[in-house]
Amino acid sequence: MLYSELKQTAIKDLSQYYYLKSSLDTLPQEIRLLQNSGMYHSTAYGMAVMSSVSADDRIAKHISRIEALEQQLANNTAKLKNINFALSCLTQSQRDILFSYYINRQRRAVNRLAIDTHTDRSALYRRATRALDKYILAYFGTLGDKE
């Protein structure tokens, strides 16, 4: 895989960090709501299982929606675990840079960090690139081909 593809994927994953984190709360709630809606435990459900010909289309859609949400929850949990592991391989200053640039997507992050750390902008860009490279290495296990 090319470095540019790995970088693009890493940035996309980092930008979804808070979405993934919040989905670990909202998806189980949505699954519980669907399971407790009454349709999941209805007598028609038992009949639908016995005979697919007589299965109510609504019940089948309801069950497939629950299964899709459970799969999404499993995928999001695994992805967030991998992201957190890769972030744990970085130093605190590297994590701060990635959070500012990609996760929090702060406007003028470079200017704010330059003032906070008494560093010039070009040095911060180099640090951000090194932090992202280290994250990519921890997450994917390779930096890929540089073309």
- Over 70: is that where the pLDDT of 145 sits? yes
pLDDT, position 118:
77
User: How many Å apart are CA 96 and CA 85, to the nearest integer?
Assistant: 15
Residue 15's CB is within 10 A of a number of other CB atoms, namely 14
- Over 70: is that where the pLDDT of 133 sits? yes
| Joined tokens for residue 11 | 């940035």
| Joined tokens for residue 27 | 């998806």
Q: What is the pLDDT of residues 66-112, one digit of tens each?
A: 999 999 999 999 999 999 999 999 999 899 888 888 888 767 767 77
Percentage with pLDDT > 90 across the chain = 44
Which residue did the predictor score with more confidence, 41 or 118?
118
Which positions ≥6 away from 131 have C-beta within 8 Å?
90, 94, 95, 97, 98
Local structure of 2: helix, strand or coil: strand
User: How many Å apart are CA 112 and CA 128, to the nearest integer?
Assistant: 14
